[in-house]
Structure 1
Amino acid sequence: MRPEFSRAWRAAAVAAGLIASVTVPSSALADSIRDRQWHVSALRLTEAHKISRGEGIIVAVVDSGVDAAHPDLAGSVLPGTDLGSAGDGRSDTAGHGTAMASAIAARGHGPGGGDGVIGVAPGARILPIRDQGSSGGSRGTGDGIRWAADHGAKIINISAGGADLSAVRSAVEYAIGKGIIVVAAAGNDGGPVEAPAMYPGVVAVAGTGRDGSLWPKSGRGREVVAAAPAAEIAGAEPGGRYSITAGTSDAAAITSGVLALVWAKFPSLDAANVINRLIKTADDKGEPGRDPSFGYGLVNPVRALTADVASAATHPLLPSAASPAPSAPASAREPGGPASSSDAARGGGNEQSPALMAAAIAAGALMVLAGGALAIFMRKRRKVHTGR
């Protein structure tokens, strides 16, 4: 992402009310940023880290790149790729990818790593894929997902969402077919689950607040697999900075970290059984069993690492002939909600009606005028520190 695009994105976000900046002294932040990671205690990560830290697991972050020079990510970011240039993905002018990487695998800094932020799986390695794609968002064209699948990723985190695109659907199917876990955010407008979270086999993640209730703007639908903290998440920002953010982007990244912990603890498991262990040990919330708000429940890292879970003979998220139809596509939301064009019908067809095509074109024009990248980077962002 070019610096001028980053500035434009941030300006549009401020205008839309999605970013409010609050600067505090560096000394005050240094003493408090770890304390602000409320999800660390809520998920009992200190206890989980005595069992597993995610060593040996590569998690791809298909996003805006990752600032590998951030002190809390030092040593955890592998050379990746920048599909828009000759870079290796280890820079980030937007900040979204860095925050997601820190939620997954930040190691802190200072004596004993006690300063800064800690990720869910601090022993995991991040494979950064900077994939802006033609739409200006981190889902790109699906090329980043394919690149991750071909370059050693065991888990692919996609903290973004939007309309159903056949290229992205195909890339997700390719990755899942290679035995890779794909994790994606459910969405941030309280509407149906977005792509790629809507696709069969994807771990679609909804968000929760501090009290464990559903985050009010979390996407909902029968595709939701699990829920994770999404409110007031402290994370890293480029240039040694930090931010407090909210959204299912963060929830997806936290869930990717939990899956990394499980796979490191049980390296002989295949993707289906790693996912099975995640959902069988989740804390059931909402309606009994799987429901459209929480899926199978709130992720529970300690139980996922310690519970006796029977093996799954088949992939728990891949549909059978009796599976219900998916939720309405993002493009079918009621008037007034964010509009998204659809590249392929949810049932698998490729033709669109003239009315739908016209609506898609109009929606695309509106997104450009409003700063279309906002529909892809699905986080509300509140900076608490602008750095050194």
Structure 2
Amino acid sequence: MRSRAARAIGAALLAVTVTLAPLLGAAPTAVAATDTAQANLDYWWSAYGIDAAHDAGLTGKGVKVAILEQQINPDLPIFEGRSLRVSDKPVCAEDPPVATTDANPSSRHGTTMTALIIGNGEGADGIRGIAPDADVTFYGYGSGNCTPDIEEQISPFGYGVKLAVDGGAKIIFTSIGGTAQEGDGPAIAYAIARGAVVISASDNPDSTSDSVGFSPLTDQGTINGVVSAAAIDRNADLQKTDAGDPYVIPQTTVVAGGVRFPSVGRDGDWTTSGTASGSSYASPTVAGMLTLAAQKFPDATGNQLVQALISTTNGQQHEPARTEDGYGYGAAWLPTLLVSDPTALPDENPLMGESAGKTTGYPTSEQIEAAKAGGFVVAVESPRPRSFNEDGDASAAGSDMSAVIGWVVGGVAVLLVIAVIVTLVIVITIRRRKAGEGTHS
């Protein structure tokens, strides 16, 4: 029996299909066996009403989006006329190549995820971006080992988030899975404090999926404040395990289309297209929706955008209600997201604590408050927290503290010198008196 969440999403999809029947030609509960990856992408494009959003002028213009991936080929025709920049500040100390013309798994994956945001439809894959006019910066880990180029204990994901926030990104997403690390808490707190949204793809059921393999119960989606996106097919079903069972990620925030989608290129060849499935596709889909919402409601904070995301799922506006059957708060839904004014919602992140599926305990609310006051604060518990401003230098607060310490140390040194001089004067005076007494005896 399908879960209540799946039935609700299926009902929303069915309603959309009835409305768009002349365009789609098939109900989501009876997908034709001959359907292609491109047909799947076109189906979700129509279900999400993306053309209608674009016609209304919502194309992501003016919104900064950061993509955390491994590699990309930014010179492909699919990016012509788009605002795409590969960050010149490396995430990794090894400074591996990020922009490459080599069609390998890392570059094809990063290129495909970027195309889902700003692709122009050129090429065999035909991928069009949800937010074609967004201002995109790509932060790459390279295809090999990556040691974050920072002294702090932080993962490439965490450091990428920090760099993205420094670059002014409003929407930050990754489709590269990884294990949650406590050292990333300050980076996520920094993003939340600066009004950004962080989205991460959840785990996939097998090692052939788009995401790097990791434990589904300890992935980045368990971090407080992070939107965890999982994939569903046109029947509103989750991905399946080898045994044919639904692959349930309990910490899922929302689900989105991501099964049998086209990919840019094949190994060694950029001119053809492959087919892939995975939460990798759900992450940029959700990020694209939030980008359009951020354009329409420029005064909305990242917290408010997340509030709107989880209260407009399944094609309805409602009080957020979460399940642990792998659907989270439901299916992200662009049409209802765009009619819900997030500025009327609380400016607090709703994805904090176990009730939201978060199990790591970080970042804490104290870390977020510290980040609001001092930027990227590494250690809240320290009496003198080390803070960094947007350039990664010591913050003004840190500089002021250093100045105070310098004055104190200097003052103590002066007092010691005075004490030594006074002591010498006293000793010399006493000796002279004794010498004088000896002479007159």
Instruction: Give the TM-score category using the shorter length.
Output: 0.5 to 0.7
Report the Cα distance in structure 2 between the residues aligned to 1:278 and 1:247, rounded to whole angstroms.
21
Q: What does residue 229 of structure 2 align with? A: 205
**Contact residue 198 and residue 326 of structure 1 kept, 8 A:** yes
Q: What does residue 65 of structure 2 align with? A: 59
Report the Cα distance in structure 1 between the residues aligned to 2:125 and 2:258, rounded to whole angstroms.
22
Q: Percent identity?
A: 25
Q: Deviations over 1:171-213 (max 9, x none)?
A: 2222222211100012113874443211111111111112112
- Gapped runs of 5+ residues in structure 2? 1-35, 149-154, 207-214, 362-441
Q: Deviations over 1:312-358 (max 9, x none)?
A: 224242426x84774599xxxxxxxxxxxxxxxxxxxxxxxxxxxxx
Q: Deviations over 1:42-91 (max 9, x none)?
A: 32222222231111112111111222112112223123144346678443
Cα 1:141/1:201, change in 2 over 3 Å? closer
Q: What does residue 91 of structure 1 align with? A: 100
1:45 aligns with 2:58: no
Cα 1:198/1:208, change in 2 over 3 Å? same
- Which of 96-105 and 163-172 deviates more? 163-172
Report the Cα distance in structure 1 between the residues aligned to 2:239 and 2:46, rounded to whole angstroms.
18
Report the Cα distance in structure 2 between the residues aligned to 1:231 and 1:137, rounded to whole angstroms.
32
Report the Cα distance in structure 2 between the residues aligned to 1:272 and 1:194, rounded to whole angstroms.
23
Q: What does residue 424 of structure 2 align with? A: none
Report the Cα distance in structure 2 between the residues aligned to 1:167 and 1:326, rounded to whole angstroms.
16
- Gapped runs of 5+ residues in structure 1? 1-31, 330-388
1:79 corresponds to which letter in structure 2? V
Report the Cα distance in structure 2 between the residues aligned to 1:133 and 1:141, rounded to whole angstroms.
14
SS in 2 for 1:62: strand
Q: What does residue 341 of structure 1 align with? A: none
1:101 aligns with 2:111: no
SS in 2 for 1:251: helix
Report the Cα distance in structure 1 between the residues aligned to 2:237 and 2:340, rounded to whole angstroms.
24
TM-score, normalization: structure 1?
0.66
Q: CA deviation at 1:266?
A: 0.9
- Which of 212-221 and 162-171 deviates more? 212-221
Cα 1:219/1:130, change in 2 over 3 Å? farther
User: Which of residues 225, 239, 242 is equivalent to 2:253?
Assistant: 225
SS in 1 for 2:67: strand
Report the Cα distance in structure 2 between the residues aligned to 1:34 and 1:230, rounded to whole angstroms.
12
What does 1:229-240 align with in structure 2 at a 5 Å threshold?
229-237=257-265, 239-240=270-271
SS in 1 for 2:259: coil
**Contact residue 157 and residue 253 of structure 1 kept, 8 A:** yes
Q: Deviations over 1:228-282 (max 9, x none)?
A: 1110112324835433211111101111111101101111111111112221111
2:195 corresponds to which letter in structure 1? G
1:76 aligns with 2:83: yes
The number of equivalent residue pairs is 294
- Which of 150-159 and 77-86 deviates more? 77-86
1:145 aligns with 2:161: yes
1:196 aligns with 2:205: no
**Contact residue 235 and residue 244 of structure 1 kept, 8 A:** yes
Report the Cα distance in structure 2 between the residues aligned to 1:193 and 1:151, rounded to whole angstroms.
31
Cα 1:145/1:305, change in 2 over 3 Å? same
**Contact residue 133 and residue 141 of structure 1 kept, 8 A:** no
Q: CA deviation at 1:300?
A: 1.0
CA RMSD of aligned residues (A): 3.5
Report the Cα distance in structure 1 between the residues aligned to 2:298 and 2:285, rounded to whole angstroms.
20
Report the Cα distance in structure 2 between the residues aligned to 1:236 and 1:67, rounded to whole angstroms.
10
Q: What does residue 124 of structure 1 align with? A: 134
Q: What does residue 266 of structure 1 align with? A: 297
Q: Deviations over 1:108-143 (max 9, x none)?
A: 239xxx982101211212211112498569962622
2:283 corresponds to which letter in structure 1? A
Q: Larger Cα Rg: Structure 1 or Structure 2?
A: 2
Cα 1:328/1:57, change in 2 over 3 Å? closer
Report the Cα distance in structure 2 between the residues aligned to 1:316 and 1:143, rounded to whole angstroms.
21
SS in 2 for 1:108: coil
**Contact residue 68 and residue 172 of structure 2 kept, 8 A:** yes
1:312 corresponds to which letter in structure 2? L
TM-score, normalization: structure 2?
0.59
Report the Cα distance in structure 1 between the residues aligned to 2:328 and 2:308, rounded to whole angstroms.
14
SS in 2 for 1:187: coil
Report the Cα distance in structure 1 between the residues aligned to 2:190 and 2:342, rounded to whole angstroms.
28
Q: CA deviation at 1:102?
A: 1.1
Q: What does residue 199 of structure 2 align with? A: 183
Report the Cα distance in structure 2 between the residues aligned to 1:65 and 1:193, rounded to whole angstroms.
27
Q: What does residue 283 of structure 2 align with? A: 252
**Contact residue 79 and residue 120 of structure 2 kept, 8 A:** yes
Q: CA deviation at 1:33?
A: 7.4
- Which of 51-60 and 162-171 deviates more? 162-171
Report the Cα distance in structure 2 between the residues aligned to 1:92 and 1:142, rounded to whole angstroms.
27
Q: What does residue 302 of structure 1 align with? A: 335
Report the Cα distance in structure 2 between the residues aligned to 1:257 and 1:234, rounded to whole angstroms.
17
